[in-house]
Structure 1
Amino acid sequence: MPRVEFTPQLKRFTETPRIDVPAATLREALDAAFERNPRLRGYVLDDQGHVRANVVIYIDGQASRDRLAQGDPLRPDSSVYVLQALSGG
């Protein structure tokens, strides 16, 4: 099953579960994570349901290409990593 992990920076704001989910697409995997912790949705997706500008999602080491619908396909052994860009100087 694909595994979904979140950057440690999000732990400052809410629980970030590492989960294994039976998902065929990135959207299905994210929905499973949001089901476990609904507060995560607001940190990852905007009001339109698109990936926020300051969030990057990697699937098997490659950046997700579908920021709008999150339709990127997942393999049974995929690794999904959700991270927020950090700013500062």
Structure 2
Amino acid sequence: MVTLTFTAHLQRHFSCPRHQVDAATLGDALEQVFANQPQARSYILDDQGALRQHVAVFIDGRRAQDRLRLGDALRPGAEVHVLQALTGG
């Protein structure tokens, strides 16, 4: 099982408690979350299915590499954290 956690900052916009899913890739894991929490999709993905510019995903403490196809591999027991990246000057 893989654990997905969405930060409190994102949960201001949609309710998305911690999820445990059986998934081999980041895309598979997110799709399982979206099946239960469809409103989360538009905050996380753009209209092409890629991660939005201001969303960051960390898998076991490392930033996800495949922002377009979401093909990053997930090992059993992986911890995935989804957060809103802050920008500014």
How high is the TM-score relative to the length of structure 2? 0.94
Which runs of at least 4 in structure 1 moved beyond 3 Å after TM superposition? none
The CA deviation string for residues 37-61 of structure 1, in whole angstroms up to 9 with x for no partner, is 0010000000000000000000000
Unaligned ranges ≥5, structure 1: none
Structure-to-structure mapping, 1:11-26, within 5 angstroms: 11-26=11-26
Task: In structure 1, give the amino acid aligned to 2:54.
Answer: N
The 2-side partners of 1:87 and 1:63 are apart by: 16
- What is the aligned partner in structure 1 of residue 69 from structure 2? 69
TM-superposed CA distance for 1:88, in Å, is 5.6
Aligned partners of 1:45 and 1:52 also within 8 Å: yes
Unaligned ranges ≥5, structure 2: none
- What is the aligned partner in structure 1 of residue 81 from structure 2? 81
The 1-side partners of 2:21 and 2:82 are apart by: 15
- What is the aligned partner in structure 1 of residue 41 from structure 2? 41
Aligned partners of 1:17 and 1:33 also within 8 Å: no
Amino-acid identity (%) = 49
The 1-side partners of 2:3 and 2:67 are apart by: 19
The CA deviation string for residues 55-83 of structure 1, in whole angstroms up to 9 with x for no partner, is 00000000000000000000011000000
Which moves more between the two structures, 12-21 or 40-49?
12-21
